[in-house]
Amino acid sequence: MPLIDSTAAGTGRVAIVTGASRGIGRAVAERLAADGLAVVVDYARDASAAEETVTAITAAGGTAIAVQADVADDDAVAALFGRAQEEYGGVDVVVNSAGRLALSPIADLDLNVLDAMHRTNIRGTFVVAREAARRLRAGGSFVGLSTSVVGTQLPSYGAYAASKGAVEAMTLILARELRGRDITVNTVAPGPTATDLFLDGKTDEQVETLAKAPPLERLGTPEDIARVVAFLVGPEGHWINGQILRANGGMV
């Protein structure tokens, strides 16, 4: 498995962040590293982008390695967690940021696109959550990523919202299944956030309309979402468990 090494870690807390080569995942990885966690940067294909994340973390004085793993591949995910165990001694935080987005009216959606999106968004979340449930240490946290479109229900987002609705459905169930282990499980559901995934294929007019939707009248940033995740996995957020947190600037 391709591996990009950096500075060796100490004995502090350890995080795995999937989809951490870009967008929200990268912002989360950098924020958790700034908070003192050693971070395993998971990526699916873009090794150079993952290396950029690791370089940014280490240049700021943090600790990180990058490991390639398709989140829907259970053997690869087990190896990802195994590498975190081998390198840093265990896992305390798992943030599953890896995801796919495809927009289409339901009547027109290519079912191959549907299957690929659901493989990453539903199966991938389940595989990562399952491994987290087996491996997280006491005091740890699992955070999934959904979307506020589950609530706003905009046209053309039907398949995507359905896949993220599945993520939300798992959240409280997993929190209850981990009773007695001092592990929290939450999901963050961003609103319109200025990432490549969000901006791809949208006109300037569409972006402007979505930016005006929240009462704060702007797009979110990956750093906005990273701050929410950092709170949930830190000591101040440890009483929050089994929740869906809609980080969207006030959208319905």
Domain boundaries, the chain: 3-245
Q: Which pLDDT score is estimated for 196?
A: 80
Distance CA 161, CA 146 (A): 8
Q: How far is CA 206 from CA 35, 158, 194, 224, in A?
A: 35, 18, 13, 21
Encoding tokens for residue 101?
A: 């987005």
| Average pLDDT estimate for 41-58 | 97
Active site residues: 160
Phi and psi for 178 in degrees, rounded to 5? -95, 15
Give the pLDDT of residue 24: 97
Q: What pLDDT score was predicted for residue 252?
A: 73
pLDDT higher than threshold 90 for residue 6: no
For the chain, percent of residues with pLDDT exceeding 90: 86
Least confident of 8-12, 127-131, 168-172: 8-12
pLDDT at residue 1 tops 50? no
Number of H helices, E strands in the chain: 10, 8
- Non-local CB neighbours of 71 within 8 Å, separated by 6+ positions: 18, 19, 42, 44, 77, 96, 98, 120, 124, 125, 127, 128
pLDDT score of 5 more than 90: no
Mean pLDDT of 32-36: 98
Quick one: pLDDT at residue 4?
Answer: 42
In this predicted structure, the answer to whether residue 56 has a pLDDT above a threshold of 80 is yes
Give the amino acid at 235. P
pLDDT averaged over every residue in the chain = 93
pLDDT in the model for residue 11: 44
Contact in structure between 80 and 13 (CB atoms under 8 Å)? no
The residue with tokens 């949930």 is 232
Supply the pLDDT for residue 209.
87
Which homologous superfamily does the CATH classification assign to the domain defined by 3-245? NAD(P)-binding Rossmann-like Domain (3.40.50.720)
**Torsion of Cα atoms, 235 then 146 then 168 then 14, to 10°:** -30
User: Residue 170 corresponds to which tokens in the numbers above?
Assistant: 């798992």
- Tell me how far the alpha carbon of residue 109 is from its chain's centroid: 25
Cα separation, 171 vs 192, in Å, equals 22
Is beta strand 63-68 parallel, antiparallel or unpaired with respect to 38-43? parallel
Q: Are 119 and 72 in contact (CB under 8 A)?
A: yes
Pairing of strands 184-188, 244-245: parallel
Confidence of residue 203 (pLDDT cuts 50, 70, 90): confident
Tally of residues, the chain? 252
Average pLDDT on 171-182 reads 98
- 121, pLDDT greater than 90: yes
Confidence band of 57 (pLDDT split at 50, 70, 90): very high
